[in-house]
């Protein structure tokens, strides 16, 4: 049996009480919530997507302070997850508000980025799965993903997870010397009842249930 090691997880955004989940040492992988001090390692994964691809439409690499603020702001209400192997962050994913108006509160948009050395290891789908399970606890009903085309692997990921392609924004962004189309995917993750409970910030949901979700998906990665 592998020795176990505690991993800290922030509860209220990135402040206050921390949650812990045990994971194995060695080559074991684990899913946990991002912390503000992870910003540099997460940014190191994101930067090649900015500089070398049109996966993100961002042109300029954010400063460390700017990126730390993004993590902090998103984590106030939505889950921001990282996948770690030993002490290295090898992928991350987060949910965020899809639209601003109150009636859209039951929707969330998902984003995922993986270290290129860990493509096709099941990390993207595992992070997405954990996000969706947590978002259900927050009363989210629909999740969305935008995919800059062409991106066969991302399209297949969404289709494999049960997302339906809604349509394509044509010539939606200019980057890397080309105009790019963006496909939008949608998945319903909970029942659309006529009197839905309002959206709940993730730090208000049940601690033990969230830990169970993170532990279950961490075990899946190592199975």
CATH of the domain at 73: 3.40.630.30
* Residue 24 confidence class, pLDDT cut points 50, 70, 90: very low
More reliable by pLDDT, 22 or 37: 37
Check: CB of residue 215 under 8 Å from CB of residue 33.
no
* Residue 27 confidence class, pLDDT cut points 50, 70, 90: low
The predicted model gives 163-188 an average pLDDT of 98
* Residue 203 confidence class, pLDDT cut points 50, 70, 90: confident
Q: Which residues of 108-122 are buried (b: 16+ CB within 10 A; e: fewer)?
A: bbbbbbbbeebeebe
Q: What is the pLDDT of residues 35-50, one digit of tens each?
A: 999 999 999 999 999 9
pLDDT, residue 118, reads: 93
- Domain residues for the domain of 57 are 4-221
Helices vs strands, H then E, count in the chain: 5, 9
The predicted model gives 87-95 an average pLDDT of 96
From the list 185, 98, 89, the residue with the least C-alpha distance to 138 is 98
Which of 21-25, 56-60, 75-79 is least confident? 21-25
The predicted model gives 190-213 an average pLDDT of 94
DSSP code of 33?
Answer: E
From the list 220, 13, 30, 184, the residue with the least C-alpha distance to 107 is 184
More reliable by pLDDT, 124 or 13: 124
Cis peptide before 150 (omega within 30 of 0): yes
What is the tally of structural domains in the chain? 1
Check: CB of residue 94 under 8 Å from CB of residue 188.
no
More reliable by pLDDT, 104 or 207: 104
Q: What is the mean pLDDT of the chain?
A: 89
From the list 50, 28, 31, the residue with the least C-alpha distance to 91 is 31
CB count in 10 Å sphere of residue 11: 17
25, pLDDT greater than 60: no
* C-alpha–C-alpha distance, residues 33 and 44, integer Å: 17
CB count in 10 Å sphere of residue 222: 13
Q: Can you tell me which residue has the tokens 């049109």?
A: 54
From the list 212, 219, 36, the residue with the least C-alpha distance to 136 is 212
Tokens at 173, concatenated: 């962004």
pLDDT, residue 196, reads: 96
21, pLDDT greater than 50: no
The predicted model gives 58-67 an average pLDDT of 98
Counting residues of the chain whose pLDDT is more than 90, the rounded percentage is 84
């Amino acid at each position: 049996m592998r020795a176990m090691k505690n991993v800290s997880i922030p509860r209220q955004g990135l402040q206050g009480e921390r949650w812990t989940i045990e994971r194995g040492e060695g080559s074991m992988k684990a899913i946990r919530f991002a912390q503000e001090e992870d910003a540099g390692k997460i940014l190191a994964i994101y930067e090649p997507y900015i500089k070398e691809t049109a996966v993100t439409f961002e042109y300029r690499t954010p400063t460390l302070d700017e990126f730390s603020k993004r993590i902090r702001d998103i984590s106030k209400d939505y889950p921001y997850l990282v996948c770690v192997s030993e002490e290295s962050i090898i992928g991350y994913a987060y949910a965020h508000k899809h639209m601003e108006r109150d009636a859209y509160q039951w929707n969330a948009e998902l984003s995922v980025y993986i270290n290129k050395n860990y493509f096709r290891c099941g990390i993207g789908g595992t992070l997405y799965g954990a996000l969706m399970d947590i978002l259900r606890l927050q009363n989210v009903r629909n999740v969305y993903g935008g995919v800059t085309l062409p991106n066969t692997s991302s399209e297949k990921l969404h289709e494999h997870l049960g997302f339906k392609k809604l349509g394509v924004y044509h010539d939606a962004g200019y980057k890397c010397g080309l105009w790019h189309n963006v496909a939008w995917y949608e998945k319903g993750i909970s029942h659309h009842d006529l009197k839905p409970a309002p959206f709940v910030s993730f730090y208000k949901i049940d601690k033990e249930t969230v830990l169970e979700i993170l532990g279950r998906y961490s075990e899946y990665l190592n199975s």
